Amino acid sequence: MKKIFIPERLKDLIYKAPDRVDKKIKDIANELGVSEKYLSRQLNPIDTGAKLGVEEFVYLLAHTDLKPLEYINSIFDRISIPISDKKVLTQTRWLKHISSISKEAGEAVAELAKSITDNNLSKEQVSKCKKETYEALQSLSLLWIDLKRYEAKNG
């Protein structure tokens, strides 16, 4: 089933981003070097004449949350994973990978097991299963990245 892009959904996620992390639009505008009025207008989903620029959009993502990006990814059946900037792969880091993967995979399996008891998955159950599976994939992806780093460094 092809997913439908709903521009209003994305605009609403962008508009509410500062509120989700308790940031003031005034502070974000100052950091961007634009006026509060200008940024407020750019974020307003009802203002059809305003267009949020790419620079402002990326800055907003970096300083609030990634819900708008997650929505865009969902349209294309993609996931985003946070990549650690830690280059040193210590025993503690490997153990954190094991712990995270165990936790996230366990939650994904538990949610699926709970959801299939009646042999019928509701939309809400599918959504919960997808969320838990997404988090497990993120954990596995981080391990993959660190394994590739280790391989590149150590041959």
* Terminal-residue alpha carbon distance, the chain: 43
Helix, strand, coil percentages (3-state) for the chain, rounded to 5, are 70, 0, 30
Question: What pLDDT, on the 0 to 100 scale, is given for residue 151?
Answer: 84
**Would you state the pLDDT for residue 35?**
93
Model confidence over 6-60: pLDDT tens digits? Answer: 888 888 999 999 999 999 999 999 988 999 999 999 888 888 888 888 888 989 9
- Model confidence over 96-132: pLDDT tens digits? 888 988 998 898 888 888 888 877 788 888 888 888 8
pLDDT at 24: 92
Identify whether the C-beta of residue 138 lies closer than 8 Å to the C-beta of residue 82. yes
Cβ-in-10-Å burial (0-12, 13-18, 19+) of 72 comes to: middle
Structural class in CATH, domain 7-75: mainly alpha
Average pLDDT for residues 144-155, to the nearest whole number? 82
**Any long-range contacts for 83-88 (C-beta under 8 Å, 24+ apart)?**
83/142, 83/145, 84/142, 84/145, 84/146, 87/149
DSSP structure class, residue 105 = H
Q: How many residues does the chain have?
A: 155
Decide: 29 and 35 in contact? Cβ < 8 Å. Answer: yes
Given this model, what pLDDT does residue 36 score?
A: 93
Domain boundaries, the chain: 7-75, 91-154
> Residue 85 has what pLDDT?
63
**46: DSSP letter:** T
Tens digits of residue pLDDT in 62-95: 889 889 998 898 888 887 777 666 667 788 888 8
Tens of pLDDT, residue by residue over 139-149, are 888 888 888 88
